[in-house]
Amino acid sequence: MKRLLYFILIFTLISFVAQAQKFPSAQIFTGILTDNDTLPHLELPSINVYPQNRFKNKAEEQQFWRMVMRVKKVLPYAKEAAILMRKYEMEVSPDERGQNRRIYVRRAEEELIKKYGPTLKNMSINDGRVLIKLIDRETHKVSFELIRDLKGGVSATFWQGVARIFGNNLKASYDPNGEDRQIEQIIQFIEMGII
């Protein structure tokens, strides 16, 4: 009798364990019919492949790491600019003119200067150059266009002149496959957590 009871107990436990196991759920893929055969079709995300950094000399390596530090310093401000730009576009439409828009832009400008003014004033010219490029990357508009849309053409031209005096260009666009390839590579590494 004890053996029968043990057998029933073990059989019951095994059946509970077998029911508790979760088998992976089936996935449904689209297929492509090729020569009376169906092949699964998957859309894979694109990835960027960069060669291993090989520096010609110590100075080139130091320049790379200075750029890494510069991008790490400036990237959060560019991302914040993109978020604030979307917020401002939602709150005040670009085609709205008049006193309401001017008051809103002035209030937003005072708020931004209060929050970011001291930090931005302490940035170097090269930090500003990278910031201009990254703002274009994040907002898909060059800095000159952003200023022109918010403050007007005269103000944008004035700030372009000031930037040109210091060797920068507010009309500089971001080119991830050309001139700014190294910056794009650094950003990818930062987002992946490598650097």
For residue 134, give the nearest of 92, 76, 192 by alpha carbon: 76
Question: For residue 39, what are the CA distances in angstroms to 42, 44, 50?
Answer: 10, 15, 31
Q: Express each pLDDT in 117-171 by its tens digit.
A: 888 888 898 998 999 899 899 988 888 988 888 788 898 899 899 989 988 888 9
pLDDT in the model for residue 16: 65
- Structure confidence at residue 62 as a pLDDT band (50, 70, 90): very high
Is the confidence at residue 1, as pLDDT, over 80?
no
* Burial bucket for residue 82 (CB in 10 Å: 0-12, 13-18, 19+): middle
Structure tokens at 131: 């910031």
pLDDT in the model for residue 81: 84
Spatial separation of the C-alpha atoms in residues 90 and 4, rounded to whole Å = 74
For residue 127, give the nearest of 70, 46, 51, 58 by alpha carbon: 70
- Tokens 């090729």 correspond to what residue? 34
pLDDT in the model for residue 141: 87
Verdict on whether the full-model pTM lies above 0.75: no
- Structure confidence at residue 30 as a pLDDT band (50, 70, 90): confident
Q: Give the rounded percent of residues in the chain with a pLDDT score beyond 70.
A: 87
Say how many C-beta atoms besides its own lie within 10 A of residue 63's C-beta.
13
Spatial separation of the C-alpha atoms in residues 91 and 48, rounded to whole Å = 36
Please report, for the chain, the start and end positions of each structural domain, with discontinuous segments joined by +. Answer: 58-192
- Structure confidence at residue 66 as a pLDDT band (50, 70, 90): very high
Is the confidence at residue 95, as pLDDT, over 70?
no
Is the confidence at residue 24, as pLDDT, over 70?
no
Mean pLDDT for 67-72 is 94
Mean pLDDT for 45-63 is 85
* Burial bucket for residue 106 (CB in 10 Å: 0-12, 13-18, 19+): exposed
- Structure confidence at residue 17 as a pLDDT band (50, 70, 90): low
- Structure confidence at residue 73 as a pLDDT band (50, 70, 90): very high
Spatial separation of the C-alpha atoms in residues 166 and 182, rounded to whole Å = 23
Q: Where are the alpha helices (DSSP H) in the chain?
A: 2-20, 58-91, 99-121, 125-139, 143-151, 153-165, 181-192
Q: Which range scores top for mean pLDDT: 28-37, 62-71, 160-169?
A: 62-71
Q: Express each pLDDT in 105-125 by its tens digit.
A: 788 788 888 888 888 888 898
Spatial separation of the C-alpha atoms in residues 190 and 142, rounded to whole Å = 23
Spatial separation of the C-alpha atoms in residues 125 and 19, rounded to whole Å = 66
Start-to-end CA span in the chain (Å): 68
